[in-house]
Structure 1
Amino acid sequence: MLKATFDAQAALGFLVSQVSSIESEVYAIRYADIQYPRLVPVDTSAYPWAKTVTYFTTDQVGQADWMNGDSSDMPFAEISRAKYETTVESAKIGYRFSLEEVNQAMMVPGMNLPADKAAAARRAADELVERVVVSGDSRKGFLGLVNQAVVPQTAVPNGASGSPLWAQKTPAEILADVNNALVGAWASSAQVELHDTVLLPVAQYGTIASMPRSSTSDTTVITYLQTNNVYTSTTGQPLTIRTLRQLKGAGAGGTDRMVTYRRDPQVLKFHMPMPHQFFPPQQRMLEFVIPGMMRLGGLDVRLPRGMSYNDGI
């Protein structure tokens, strides 16, 4: 009994030193298919244990006008403010080692505990955040990038074939669909909201990535589009075009959806006051548990006209 107690105590000290190295290794890993940091601005500045994140939006009203020399009336500018709160929720995922695993690792000089369990926990945490950012979570009342209720929604027009589907449209018709989405948002916001990002379902992305611009061109539609659009012609910057599998069937009536938006914290922001972290190992019976948790809110769309949904592609 004394030997078992000693092994457990020694194993805990060994595990603590190992875990610090494991965590450094795991948090350095970047998974290629976790997209949310590239899709939306992520804000980690709030207090980690806050129940809500409060923010304000402002708008200005007032218009200057001509006046007479003896005028006694004066127009005034005003600022209107709206207050919003985002609920912050906790999520958990950790990993564990058995007493046997730790003591066996201690027997061999220089042997390290594998980091694969910690990596699996970190991966699971990233996957949860990705789901919340992209699709939301009905259990918490969160909406995501593909299903916001406040974002303007439009059905793309039919092409010459009589169908709105990109698989049945010409390159010129597809280019018109994208530019109409960009120009429509720009025009409806008095040329303020100029979208810089386009998200497409996998099939439609594949279509424009392989479709020639014309029968006599060696340029694909996507290559042409990145430099020939209203955003690029206005700013001189290339349009960002990404694929997002969750857009398949996300549109009205189960149709495929294209999303355009300005990737800017003024438009949309994801709050994560406590990024995923591991806590010190704890002994539980004949195993050691390394708890992990994070705290996050939903995706806030602050300026709905900074986004657009275009369905039917």
Structure 2
Amino acid sequence: MVMQTFDQATVDGTGTFLIHELERLDQTLNMPLVAFTWGRDIQLREDVSIADEISSFTQSGFSASGSPASNGKNWLSKTATAIAGVNVDISKQGFPLTLWGMELGWTLPELQAAAQVGRPIDSQKFEAMQLKWNMDTDEQVYTGDTGLGIKGLLNLSQVTPMNAAKTFATSSPDDMRLAINTVLSAAWANSAYSMVPTDLLIPPEQYGLLASTIVSTAGNQSLLTYLSTNTIAYHQNGRPLNIRPVKWAKGIGTSGTDRMIAYTNDKKFVRFPMVPLMSVPVQYRGLYQLVTYYGKLGAVEPVYTETLAYMDGI
């Protein structure tokens, strides 16, 4: 007696399988579960091109002495012959733009076989490549790259973190509100009281805690909703504080603690240079079809680092 077997791994590279007569295959393509949020939390600097090697910007510093007192106002007498002026100092900041690329390839028989079963291999490889691009961009935006020696939004060396009095898990609603107002106030003071941050990024666990904690004095409102309109950010900027969770904030603080960042999501203050993906024409090598996609990822540009503040140990 000859037994018929069905090997599910047969021709697995093209997404085709042998199906048993009593097997009901769900045709839905279940993609890997991945979340990336870089497009939500930072604005792009889009004037860079594929030919650029470095993205840069300038920062101007002004100084002026008073008259007759050097630290006073600029008063003049009718007979004055020495008049004070203004000094301007312009410095340049530069960041690398690094080439990113990936090659997609398949054979014509693979393409035909996968298309016949309704799972085209070319479009799936393209989606996989886009997923890798977004995952790499996500890490580049939030934490930078160790090999390239660059930092991200959550670990800028120019920003000195402060320590929380206690973790959110051991804090009362008032303690958490005080911690958030403290980090907002620190950024406000660092900017010479010119800008209160509009955005707050916290780890997912702390975000869930804010969402589940009830403020009974506010009419059974969640602390997350309550804080959006009950911090200095709302009263100074006239719009709710935008509190969002980000996985990269977990364990990135000093000694592996969780970090909270207050900043303003505006390209005037902080932005990320990027050259979007582009491709070369399809190349044919025998039965193979090959296409290369490439783009450039920069480094987070903190134009005004004084508008950012970190708090560790939350």
Q: Verify: 1:99 aligned to 2:108, yes or no.
A: yes
Q: Verify: 1:310 aligned to 2:314, yes or no.
A: no
Letter in 2 for 1:127: M
* Corresponding residue for residue 137 of structure 2: 129
SS of residue matched to 1:94:
strand
**Structure 1 residue 111, shift from structure 2 partner:** 10
* Corresponding residue for residue 16 of structure 1: none
CA offsets 1:106-149 (integer angstroms, 9 cap, x no match): 999x9977622211111111111111111111111221111110
* Corresponding residue for residue 5 of structure 1: none
* 2:264 counterpart (262, 265, 275): 262
**Structure 1 residue 71, shift from structure 2 partner:** 3.3
CA offsets 1:282-312 (integer angstroms, 9 cap, x no match): 1234321121111121112122111111011
* Corresponding residue for residue 74 of structure 2: 65
Contact 1:152-1:305 within 8 A present in 2 as well = no
Q: Verify: 1:80 aligned to 2:89, yes or no.
A: yes
What is the distance in 2 between the residues matched to 1:169 and 1:191? 28
* Corresponding residue for residue 296 of structure 1: 297
Letter in 1 for 2:298: G
* Corresponding residue for residue 229 of structure 2: 227
Letter in 1 for 2:225: T
* Corresponding residue for residue 176 of structure 1: 178
Q: Tell me: CA distance 1:311–1:112, structure 2 relative to 1, closer, same or farther (3 Å).
A: closer
Contact 2:190-2:307 within 8 A present in 1 as well = no
SS of residue matched to 1:95:
strand
Letter in 2 for 1:136: G
Note the aligned Cα RMSD (angstroms).
2.4
**Structure 1 residue 94, shift from structure 2 partner:** 3.3
Q: Tell me: CA distance 1:276–1:61, structure 2 relative to 1, closer, same or farther (3 Å).
A: same
Letter in 2 for 1:67: L
What is the distance in 2 between the residues matched to 1:111 and 1:221? 46
CA offsets 1:212-270 (integer angstroms, 9 cap, x no match): 12367311111011011112101211111110111111111111100011122232121
What is the distance in 1 between the residues matched to 2:101 and 2:194? 41
* 1:192 counterpart (188, 191, 194): 194
What is the distance in 2 between the residues matched to 1:107 and 1:188? 62
* Corresponding residue for residue 205 of structure 1: 207
* Corresponding residue for residue 156 of structure 1: 164
Q: How does 1:26-37 map to 2 (within 5 A)?
A: 33-37=35-39
Q: TM-score, normalised by structure 2?
A: 0.81
* Corresponding residue for residue 39 of structure 1: 41
Q: Tell me: CA distance 1:102–1:225, structure 2 relative to 1, closer, same or farther (3 Å).
A: same
Contact 2:187-2:309 within 8 A present in 1 as well = yes
SS of residue matched to 1:86:
strand
**Mind listing any 5+ residue stretches in structure 2 that lack a counterpart?**
1-32, 66-72
Letter in 2 for 1:101: E
SS of residue matched to 2:221:
coil
Contact 2:228-2:243 within 8 A present in 1 as well = yes
Letter in 2 for 1:92: G
Equivalent pairs, count: 275
Identical amino acids, percent of aligned pairs: 25
Letter in 2 for 1:278: S
* Larger CA deviation: 127-136 vs 34-43: 34-43
SS of residue matched to 1:137:
coil
Contact 1:259-1:309 within 8 A present in 2 as well = yes
SS of residue matched to 1:140:
coil
Q: Tell me: CA distance 1:301–1:97, structure 2 relative to 1, closer, same or farther (3 Å).
A: same
SS of residue matched to 1:259:
strand
What is the distance in 2 between the residues matched to 1:214 and 1:103? 63
* Larger CA deviation: 227-236 vs 113-122: 113-122
Q: TM-score, normalised by structure 1?
A: 0.81
Contact 1:226-1:238 within 8 A present in 2 as well = yes
* Corresponding residue for residue 13 of structure 1: none
SS of residue matched to 2:310:
strand
**Structure 1 residue 271, shift from structure 2 partner:** 0.9
Contact 1:42-1:269 within 8 A present in 2 as well = yes
What is the distance in 2 between the residues matched to 1:113 and 1:282? 17
**Structure 1 residue 48, shift from structure 2 partner:** 1.4
Contact 1:137-1:143 within 8 A present in 2 as well = yes
What is the distance in 2 between the residues matched to 1:225 and 1:200? 13
